[in-house]
Amino acid sequence: MSVICIRLDWDRTAVPLPRTLGGRWHAVHVAPEPGWPAGRRGLALASAWEQYRAPGAVGMLMLDGDVVIDPVDLREMLDSVASRPEWVWVAPIRLWPASTGLDGWVWGHWAGGPQNRSQQLTYDDVAWWGLGFTYLPRQLITAAMDAGLRKWVFPHVDTKLNQQAQAMNLEVGIVPTCEPKHLNY
């Protein structure tokens, strides 16, 4: 099974990945632009998929530059993807006020709408998720490309991918044994 692994590196600030995670990661460098913090995240994702995908690739595993994982996190995520490569797979990740503007941390996935963000960890009926350490299946990426992914800008890329997945009735799985750390606090 082939999974494209990309590391989004904003302005070359990504935490270096240790060698124990293997050489499977492709760095996708995104530089600031005049409209910062709005940026061409959609273009970066679309370009990464077009550049690195292999004919048999089942999807793309994304790791944001301000998120760190260990070898167990990677293995658990890839095992989940192998079990159901047609699903979206999300690692539970705490998002901090520096990123969200909220008063306290919240989980990066939740059921219901944005008003349902909370510190209550949920595994069921997840409808919304961020891209901290997330697997996107091939059919979602293809549909997003058809829907204009290249033109989607931060901070709306996550929302548009969620909406696309919901429109396609894709299952979302949470990998409870992953424990990535979001360092933007």
What is 2-182's CATH topology?
Spore Coat Polysaccharide Biosynthesis Protein SpsA; Chain A (3.90.550)
pLDDT band at 95 (very low <50, low <70, confident <90, very high): very high
pTM greater than the 0.85 cutoff = yes
Residues 164 and 140: beta-carbon distance below 8 Å: yes
pLDDT band at 88 (very low <50, low <70, confident <90, very high): very high
Report the distance separating Cα 41 and Cα 54, nearest Å.
Answer: 21
Reported as type and span, the H/E element at residue 57 is strand 57-64
Please give the pLDDT value at position 155.
Answer: 74
Give the pLDDT mean for 40-62: 91
CA 131 centroid distance within chain: 2
CA separation (Å) from 20 to 73, 74, 126? 12, 10, 31
pLDDT band at 35 (very low <50, low <70, confident <90, very high): low
